[in-house]
Amino acid sequence: MNNAAVLKQGDFLSVGSDEFLESLKVNFEAPFHLMRALVPEMVKNNYGRVVNLSSGWGAFADGLTGPAAYSVTKAAINALTLSLSQAITATNVKVNSMCPGWVRTRMGGEGASRSPEEGAETVIWLATLEDDGPSGGFFRDKKLIDW
């Protein structure tokens, strides 16, 4: 499960390039390297589950409506999810992204509408998928959502 993220505020014109690059490193580059390190062994063993935590703010279907650096890097993790899932279709390795919703965490804050348990429910489901489970999808509340 790839769950590290930073949330830098600002639209495209106001977010600093250093903040944008930090977001890219944490939200995209770190999961990329972790998958590159672990997925080959999963493929070799013909079993594995990769769950990338994304966000509705990273969905083109929702208009990338969050702060620019966060939205762009979450869209990138969604693209990486789809690309990797297509590269390993002949295996029992499942690769999916999910949006936990607005969760009461340090990032989400006390005013968030969902408990950590509610946010984790889809993560657990995707991490424990049966062999006939989905791969290459974007989920919220165990339901496929648009990219």
**70 noted as active-site residue:** yes
**Do residues 34 and 27 make contact, with C-beta atoms less than 8 angstroms apart?**
no
Phi and psi (nearest 5°) for 2? -100, 110
Residue from 70, 76, 93, 139 carrying the catalytic annotation: 70
How many CA atoms are closer than 13 Å to the CA of 5, on its beta-carbon side?
A: 27
**Do residues 66 and 55 make contact, with C-beta atoms less than 8 angstroms apart?**
yes
- Does residue 47 come out as left (phi exceeding 0), alpha (psi in the -120 to 50 range) or beta? beta
For residue 74, give the nearest of 122, 19, 31 by alpha carbon. Answer: 31
- Does residue 96 come out as left (phi exceeding 0), alpha (psi in the -120 to 50 range) or beta? beta
Residues marked active site are found at 70
